[in-house]
Amino acid sequence: SGSLYVVATPIGNLDDLSPRAARVLAEVALVAAEDTRHSARLLRHLGLHRPLLSLHEHNETARVAQIDARLGAGDDIALISDAGTPLISDPGFVLVRELRARGRRVVPIPGACALVAALSAAGLPTDRFLFEGFLPARGSARRARLEALAEREETLVLYESPHRIRDTLADIGAVLGQRHLVLARELTKAYETFLEGSAESLSIRLAEDPDQARGEFVVMLAGAEPRRGAAMQIDGEALLRALLDEG
């Protein structure tokens, strides 16, 4: 039977589409895409005219049987989203889970992902990070989520749209105070910018220069400082054990 290829597409710069991704898109029988009009443009740019099938959060479950049947008939299918890696704050999770449960072969074709691109150039610790995707749209729910994350020591990574970036910065400032932030904007595009500072200083920058509030954002926050009390307790225990071992 056929395979589902989960294909990463560019997040801005079309040169970021890998040769392997281009080859897969040229060879599959069908391309399942979040927004078929948007993806038709990408395929045209590649000189391809593959049949497209829409697959978005509202019809994903309904599409599973249809896609599974095509795979069963021997067709290879590609899954793409509007930008970057499918399933990363994009549709595809239900499809991949269901196809795997049915024993189908699911193959990743890796490439651009805003989260990884942003982290790779931000200068924040990357040994451990927490990806939270989009915070809730409503202010109260957003602040509650930030409060729940306040003690996490990993670098925190968020996606944000231009409509909400100012509100999100204001909430980060209100809930987390002077935390160090890096704002990656328009990655791989002409106006790619990295800004850093506190939520408050970044809010001022965006208010002073509204161009800086346009486009797509990855918001990265330094993790919380390790709690001193907790660290001392662990040290105390280790010390006690060491002393007992001596005796």
* Partners of 183 in beta bridges: 195, 219
- Residue 212 engages ligand SAM in binding (rule: CB under 6 A): no
By CB under 6 A, residue 96 contacts ligand SAM: no
- Residue from 175, 216, 221, 223 in contact with ligand SAM (CB under 6 A): 216
DSSP the chain: --EEEEE-B-SS-GGGS-HHHHHHHHH-SEEEESSHHHHHHHHHHTT----EEE--TTTHHHHHHHHHHHHHTT--EEEE-SSBSTTSSSS-HHHHHHHHHTT-EEEEE----HHHHHHHHH-S--SSEEEEEEPPSSHHHHHHHHHHHTT--SEEEEEE-TTTHHHHHHHHHHHHTT--EEEEESTTSTT-EEEEE-HHHHHHHHHH-GGGGSS-EEEEEPPPPPPHHHHHHHHHHHHHHHHHHH-
Q: Which stretch binds ligand SAM (CB under 6 A): 15-23, 49-57, 107-115, 203-211?
A: 107-115
Closer residue to ligand SAM, CB minimum distance, 115 or 222? 115
Binding footprint of ligand SAM, residue count (CB under 6 A): 23
Kindly state whether residue 81 participates in binding ligand SAM, applying the rule CB under 6 A. yes
Dihedral, CA of residue 194, residue 197, residue 198 and residue 199, to nearest 10: -20
Does position 68 bind ligand SAM by CB under 6 A?
Answer: no
| One residue of 60, 90, 154, 171 binding ligand SAM per CB under 6 A | 90
Residue 85 contacts ligand SAM per CB under 6 A: yes
| Shortest distance, position 9 Cβ to ligand SAM, whole Å | 9
Residue 218 contacts ligand SAM per CB under 6 A: yes
Output the residue with the shortest Cβ distance to ligand SAM. Answer: 84
Contact residue for ligand SAM among 115, 119, 169, 172 (CB under 6 A): 115
Tokens in use for 14? Answer: 């079309």
Per CB under 6 A, does 31 bind ligand SAM? no
Q: What are phi and psi of 94, to 5 degrees?
A: -65, -45
Among 4, 6, 7, 12, binds ligand SAM (CB under 6 A): 12
129 makes contact with ligand SAM (CB under 6 A): no
Query: Which parts of 181-210 interact with ligand SAM (CB under 6 A)?
Result: 184, 186-189
Kindly list the residues in this chain that would bind ligand SAM in the complex (CB under 6 A). Answer: 11-12, 81, 83-85, 88-90, 113-115, 159-161, 184, 186-189, 216-218
